[in-house]
Structure 1
Amino acid sequence: MTMKRAILEMGMGNDLHGEDYTKAAERAIKDALHHSSLSFIRTLNIDKNRLFVNVTIGVQKPENVKTKELEKLLPVGVVSINVIKGGLDVPDHKNNDHAVIASAAIEVMLDV
């Protein structure tokens, strides 16, 4: 059998004032999830535990993302989260602050 990607969904999330990279990543994942439906699971009578869910998060400070918290957001399958440098930090120099913007790509893979 071979792993095949069944769906790819993208999302964007931000934390405007808290500089919380995990919160921005969480919002990016939720944004992606709200754009998709895995109705084929029921239609094809596929066990949801057979799915592999690969999540890639892009933020400027990957080391500041708590991946264990993010895993709880994914409702099906075997979850893998990879955090890479990406996204944006938008500075507000006058207020000594910055907005954190995260991007997320969620791939659902199936062994067929």
Structure 2
Amino acid sequence: MTHCCYSLLKLRFSSFPITDLGSNNFPQRFRKSLSFSHRSPKFILSAISRTMEVVEGSEGSKGSSSPMKLLFVEMGVGYDQHGQDITVAAMRACKDAISSNSIPAFRRGSIPGVSFDQMKLQIKLGVPHSLQKSLDIEKVKSVFPYGEILNVEVVDGGLICSSGVLVEEMGDKNDDCYIVNAAVYVGYKL
């Protein structure tokens, strides 16, 4: 339980694209609670709850003066095994992230005062550094059928590896396989 909660907390701050929670911005009362090895699960959940309040209520969100209220994070992986197109891999990663989910809460009015038009998305892509300039962000955005995309953040990540075979008929220039990781943050703004 302790390791799981610590991982959740670490993920929450290492990949959340809305705000910077570096050590200078992290409240002093929470810095000491980051060592969870001897803490009870109740203490850890309390720390996570307090830190989520800090994230959702913090200044400095990208693209707007009010932070997005985060509901959930979808994660996916995409590959381009033949053809060496990083945009194809990124689009597949985003499709993977959203393909196993349904979001009826926005259409059914399950969140009081929030309509379907207020659904917001933030996308974070882990792309090999050497391929980032060839990524077509507009094509990646086309994967999402609804929701306003507030921003797309591209960071060093993903992987270039060998697919084990070069298939010229499939457009291969070499045997490289491109892999992209995607995190899709879904929330709303009032």
* TM-score interval, smaller chain: 0.7 to 0.9
User: Number of residue pairs matched?
Assistant: 112
- Partner of 2:186: helix, strand, or coil? strand
- Partner of 1:25: helix, strand, or coil? helix
- Partner of 1:10: helix, strand, or coil? strand
Q: Which amino acid aligns with 2:120?
A: F
User: Is residue 87 of structure 1 aligned with residue 87 of structure 2?
Assistant: no
What's the TM-score, normalizing by structure 2? Answer: 0.53
Deviation of the 1:92 alpha carbon? 5.7
Give the match for residue 64 of structure 1.
134
Quick one: distance in 1 between partners of 2:165 and 2:103?
A: 45
As a proportion of its length, which structure holds more helix?
Answer: 2
Q: Deviations over 1:41-85 (max 9, x none)?
A: 122264322121001111102212100111111122221212221
Q: Is the Cα–Cα contact under 8 Å of residues 48 and 76 in structure 1 kept in the other structure?
A: no
Q: Is the Cα–Cα contact under 8 Å of residues 3 and 109 in structure 1 kept in the other structure?
A: yes
The range that moved more, 40-49 or 100-109, is 40-49
- Partner of 1:76: helix, strand, or coil? coil
User: Is residue 6 of structure 1 aligned with residue 74 of structure 2?
Assistant: no
Give the match for residue 118 of structure 2.
50
Q: Unpaired segments of 5 or more residues in structure 1?
A: none
Give the match for residue 74 of structure 1.
144
- CA-atom RMSD, angstroms? 2.0
CA, structure 1 residues 42+49, in 2 after alignment: closer, same or farther (shift >3 Å)? closer
Q: Which amino acid aligns with 2:83?
A: G
Q: Is the Cα–Cα contact under 8 Å of residues 127 and 156 in structure 2 kept in the other structure?
A: yes
Q: Unpaired segments of 5 or more residues in structure 2?
A: 1-65, 167-173
Quick one: distance in 1 between partners of 2:118 and 2:165?
A: 50
Aligned with 2:182 (options 92, 104, 108): 104
- Greater relative contact order structure (CA < 8 Å, 6+ sep): 1
Q: Which has the greater radius of gyration?
A: 2
Q: Percent identity?
A: 30
Q: Is the Cα–Cα contact under 8 Å of residues 65 and 83 in structure 1 kept in the other structure?
A: no
The range that moved more, 22-31 or 75-84, is 75-84
Give the match for residue 80 of structure 2.
15
